[in-house]
Structure 1
Amino acid sequence: MDRTRFFVRVAALYALIGAFMGSHMAGGGGLQLSAIHAHILVVGWLSLFAFGIYYRVFSIPKGSKLATAHVWTSFFGVFGLTVGMWLYYTQPIDGMSTFNTIFFIVGGTVLLIAFALFAIMAFIHGRFISEDA
């Protein structure tokens, strides 16, 4: 899998969703979903894009199990956090509040694990992170 391409493409989708939400809120005059909009743009667009650029700039080994875990926890964590946040704040289906809360918490926890894996990876694969070519 090309980690850079994967992250940049998924980030582009989150950018589109976040921009659409922002324009919809601005046009409608309602800011009720602004926290969800902000998280879609920050963790969905900016973080995933930054991770994609990280893999492009630094030669992290393709076979790294740590990098693979980072990619998938990032992907599922961003999805879980943003969708869980939407479910939690909008409660679109009656009687699902416990599920919505758990979905939100699990998504956020998986994303937190992704960021921890990224921090660990920055030190384990630190020899690849350099200004030298």
Structure 2
Amino acid sequence: MSNTFLRLGVLFALVGVSLGYWMGVTHQFLLSPVHAHLNLLGWVSMFLYGLFYRAMPDAAGGWLPKIHLGLAVIGLTVMMIGLTFMLTALPDLQPWVPPLMMVGPTMVLLGMFVFAFVVFRTTGARPAAA
């Protein structure tokens, strides 16, 4: 789980930084919100998730971390596609914006709730070993 999140974080960083580089070179900053979300939710959050699962290997067991991974990655990807469609305002893509911008952010939020549950479950008070 840790390696998956760490590697995904780096991949999202490459995409986010590349988009930022392209915007700087072309002086076209329309997709700045996509760049910002890719860097924050993609790079920073995914990498932090990976570091947490590395520091707390017991947290990576079971089905909840897998649900967290799916919600975080699919949710961010769907949200970035929807945000790109919305910002580019291409008429043929506009019908896709409402469902993508409802589903993607909802998945990201649910993923964060699952992660919060995993963190609290893993870091909660434990009875002393006998």
What is the percent sequence identity of the aligned residues?
A: 26
Structure 1 residues 17-26 or 62-71, which shifts more? 62-71
2:114 aligns with 117
1:74 aligns with 72
Residues 85 and 60 of structure 1, relative CA distance in 2, 3 Å threshold? farther
| 1:15-61 deviation line (CA, Å, top 9, x unaligned) | 11111111111111121111110001000111111101110011225
RMSD: 1.9
| 1:71-115 deviation line (CA, Å, top 9, x unaligned) | 1111111111112211221144x3331222211221110000000
The answer as to whether partners of 2:9 and 2:47 remain within 8 angstroms in 1 is yes
**Structure 1 or 2: more helix by fraction:** 2
Equivalent residues, number:
126
The answer as to whether partners of 1:78 and 1:111 remain within 8 angstroms in 2 is yes
The answer as to whether partners of 1:58 and 1:128 remain within 8 angstroms in 2 is no
**Equivalent residue runs for 1:4-15 within 5 Å:** 4-15=2-13
Residues 63 and 80 of structure 1, relative CA distance in 2, 3 Å threshold? same
1:40 aligns with 38
TM-score (norm 2): 0.87
In structure 2, list runs of 5 or more residues that go unmatched: none
One-letter amino acid of the counterpart of residue 113, structure 1: L
TM-score (norm 1): 0.85
The answer as to whether partners of 1:91 and 1:100 remain within 8 angstroms in 2 is no
The answer as to whether partners of 2:15 and 2:38 remain within 8 angstroms in 1 is yes
Distance across 1 between alignment mates of 2:95 and 2:67: 28
Which residue of 17, 33, 38 corresponds with 1:19? 17
Distance across 2 between alignment mates of 1:127 and 1:102: 37
